[in-house]
Structure 1
Amino acid sequence: MEWLTDYHLGGIVIGICTFLIIGLFHPIVVKAEYYWGTRCWWIFLILGIAGIIGSILINDILISSLIGVFSFSSFWTIKEIFEQRERVLKGWFPMNPKRKHEYEEK
């Protein structure tokens, strides 16, 4: 990790990894809503809280930053899970036929 400091690449690595982490969460949102609906939001809450704790406890700035990005991406996913449900209702994404009853108007 010392070579990252020597060549001043820490910011670039954090930027690339942030891009990849956020990009990874998009298909996770789609799949989570498809299989579990909005009731899985608490999993992302726990991941976010665990990430905050991990980020605080880790001394390495690179690892701590990436865990922080993961943590807040998990929190953002909670919002996205509920918005994904709306996108499914609009027909923009496929509806899970096994959970069709959850999408019916009441």
Structure 2
Amino acid sequence: MLLATGIGHIIVIKGEYYLGIKCWSLFLIVGLACITVSLVVHSPFLSGSLGIIGVTFLWGIGELFKQKERVKKGWFPENKNRKH
């Protein structure tokens, strides 16, 4: 769970940097897909892992918007090449 959360935070930072907050819908789709698949998988380890990954992506949606604010505050670099 800690590994998924750590990687999720990196994905949020890179996602906001390269795509902006418009990638939130991708996070929603991936998160719901992982949770849905976790409900039909028979392996407890795989099911739990997919569920945790799915929740991590759903958590990432809120973090994307928080990351935008962190960039505005100057805590993280802004991608000057990305069109707004």
- Whether these two folds match at TM > 0.5 is yes
Q: Provide the secondary structure at the position in 2 that maps to 1:20.
A: helix
Q: CA deviation at 1:27?
A: 1.1
Q: List alignment gaps of at least 5 residues for structure 2.
A: none
Give the structure 2 partner of residue 11 of structure 1. Answer: none
Provide the C-alpha distance between the structure 1 equivalents of 2:10 and 2:18, rounded to a whole number of angstroms: 12
Greater RCO, CA 8 A, separation 6+? 2
Q: Which amino acid aligns with 1:28?
A: I
What letter is aligned with 2:79? N
- Once the two structures are TM-superposed, the CA of residue 75 in structure 1 deviates from its matched residue by 0.1
Give the unaligned 5+ runs of structure 1. 1-17
Is 2:81 the counterpart of 1:92?
no
In the TM superposition, what whole-angstrom CA distance separates every residue of 1:1-34 from its partner, at most 9, and x where no partner exists? xxxxxxxxxxxxxxxxx11111111111111000
Query: Which string of whole-angstrom CA distances, capped at 9 and with x for unpartnered residues, describes residues 29-71 of structure 1?
Result: 1110000100000111000111111111101111101100000
Give the aligned length. 84
User: In 1, Cα distance between the equivalents of 2:9 and 2:34?
Assistant: 18
Point out the structure with max Rg over C-alpha.
1
Greater shift, 72-81 or 18-27, is seen at: 18-27
Structure 1 runs of 4+ with >2 Å offset: none
Q: CA deviation at 1:82?
A: 0.6
- Looking at structure 2, the residues matched to 27 and 95 of structure 1 have their Cα atoms a distance apart, in angstroms, of 15
- Determine the structure 1 residue equivalent to 2:28: 45
Query: SS at the partner of 2:65?
Result: helix
TM-score, normalised with respect to structure 2: 0.94
Q: Percent identity of the aligned residues?
A: 43
- The CA deviation at 1:76 is 0.3
